[in-house]
């Protein structure tokens, strides 16, 4: 590693200082003088900062093994330590993978310091997200689902993942929680909300034995393809300059009745486009 790069990396500079202590120097001042014989200069303050970073918990330092650390890293982590304490920061660090580049380092710092988006959930399964939530409960990282969703920055996704994991076993059997993504889980919930669990399960069974051989995205597509119209009958009649429309809907789940005001508002908005 070039000296200019080494001086900017606290972990490497601290390692160099400790390796040379008792052999090339005994104090930080002596180390500064010896290391400054060739440019760039290494100050006592830089060595102090490097020693501070090297004292950080191993669970935190491993996240920067590839990218190294810099002054911004040190300042942010020290600030986070003052606000949250090492125990809370270590709990967060355990859920993360080491940074691969400077962008990854920035994202990790944001997470450890409680800033910005917490975790990337792309491709994460409902089971993995719920396990993360349960682990956080166990180690007291958060006390309830609201606080977990706020810290992780995945409000809707966490609630949806919990709902998916609570679907009846007969449905989960066809949609393994550790195989589908949270996004696919949301699509499944959309079908459940529309038809109800029992109706959806009967449709799954009606598709036959080959259904289980399909990919999850193919299963969802097949279920959407066999959806029947919710509106069973439309009756219209005119009286005194008014058009009366009766909608006869399939509402075995009772969800349409529960949200009929929203339905009326949607119909009103649609009808206005024709007048």
> Residues 187, 257: one domain?
no
Considering 101, 119, 137, which residue would you say is the last residue of a domain? Answer: 119
Q: CA 77, CA 237: separation in Å to the nearest integer?
A: 71
> Residues 179, 220: one domain?
yes
Identify the pLDDT of residue 95.
Answer: 74
Considering 228, 246, 263, which residue would you say is the last residue of a domain? Answer: 228
Taking the CA of residue 84 as centre, how many other CA atoms within 13 Å lie in the half-sphere pointing to its CB?
A: 21
* Contact present, 151 and 114 (Cβ < 8 Å): yes
* Contact present, 168 and 155 (Cβ < 8 Å): no
Identify the pLDDT of residue 28.
Answer: 92
| Structural domain total, the chain | 3
Give the domain range for residue 134: 120-228
> Residues 149, 249: one domain?
no
> Residues 128, 173: one domain?
yes
What are the structure tokens assigned to 154, written together?
């995945």
Identify the pLDDT of residue 229.
Answer: 62
What are the structure tokens assigned to 15, written together?
């390692």
> Residues 144, 191: one domain?
yes
> Residues 56, 79: one domain?
yes
Closest to 191 (Cα-Cα) out of 156, 214, 222, 170: 222
Closest to 163 (Cα-Cα) out of 130, 134, 206, 116: 130
| pTM of the complete model | 0.44
Q: CA 138, CA 263: separation in Å to the nearest integer?
A: 42
Cα angle 135-139-145, degrees, rounded to a multiple of 5 = 60
Identify the pLDDT of residue 165.
Answer: 92
> Residues 89, 127: one domain?
no
> Residues 27, 103: one domain?
yes
Burial 68-97 (b: 16+ CB within 10 A, else e): bbeeebbebbeebbeebeeebbbbbbeebe
> Residues 218, 192: one domain?
yes
The pLDDT tens digits along the chain (275 residues) read: 566 666 667 778 888 889 999 999 999 999 889 888 888 888 898 888 888 888 899 999 999 888 888 888 888 898 888 888 888 888 888 878 888 888 788 888 888 887 655 455 666 788 988 988 888 888 777 888 888 887 777 778 888 899 999 999 989 888 988 888 888 888 899 888 888 888 888 888 887 777 778 888 888 888 887 655 677 788 888 888 888 888 888 787 787 888 888 888 888 887 877 76
> Residues 76, 156: one domain?
no
> Residues 194, 254: one domain?
no
Total Cβ atoms within 10 A of residue 11: 18
Considering 69, 96, 119, which residue would you say is the last residue of a domain? Answer: 119
DSSP assignment string, 112-162:
HTT-S-----TT--HHHHHHHHHHHHHTTS-SSHHHHHHHHT-HHHHHHHH
Identify the pLDDT of residue 105.
Answer: 85
Positive or negative torsion for Cα 186, 189, 195, 200: positive
> Residues 113, 167: one domain?
no
Burial 111-137 (b: 16+ CB within 10 A, else e): bbbeeeebbebeebbbbbbbebbeebe
């Amino acid at each position: 590693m070039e000296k200019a790069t080494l001086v900017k990396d606290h972990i490497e500079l601290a390692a160099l200082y400790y390796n040379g202590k008792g052999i090339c120097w005994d104090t930080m001042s002596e180390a500064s003088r010896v290391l400054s014989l060739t440019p760039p200069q290494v100050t006592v303050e830089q060595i102090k900062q490097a020693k501070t970073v090297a004292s950080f918990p191993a669970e935190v330092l491993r996240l920067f093994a590839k990218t190294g650390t810099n002054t911004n890293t040190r300042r942010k982590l020290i600030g986070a330590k003052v606000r949250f304490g090492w125990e809370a920061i270590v709990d967060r660090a355990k859920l993360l993978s080491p940074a691969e580049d400077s962008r990854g380092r920035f994202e990790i710092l944001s997470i450890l310091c409680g800033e910005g988006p917490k975790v990337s959930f792309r491709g994460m399964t409902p089971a993995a997200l719920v396990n993360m939530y349960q682990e956080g409960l166990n180690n007291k990282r958060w006390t309830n689902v609201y606080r977990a969703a706020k810290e992780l920055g995945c409000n809707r996704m966490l609630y949806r993942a919990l709902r998916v994991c609570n679907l009846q076993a007969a449905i989960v059997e066809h949609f393994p929680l550790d195989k589908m993504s949270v996004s696919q889980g949301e699509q499944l919930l959309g079908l459940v909300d529309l038809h109800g669990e029992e109706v959806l399960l009967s449709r799954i069974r009606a598709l036959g034995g080959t259904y289980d051989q399909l990919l999850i995205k193919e299963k969802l597509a097949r279920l959407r393809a066999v959806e029947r119209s919710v509106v069973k009958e439309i009756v219209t009649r005119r009286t005194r300059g008014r058009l009366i429309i009766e909608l006869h809907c399939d509402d075995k789940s009772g969800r349409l009745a529960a949200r009929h005001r929203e339905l009326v508002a949607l119909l009103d908005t649609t009808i206005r486009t024709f007048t």
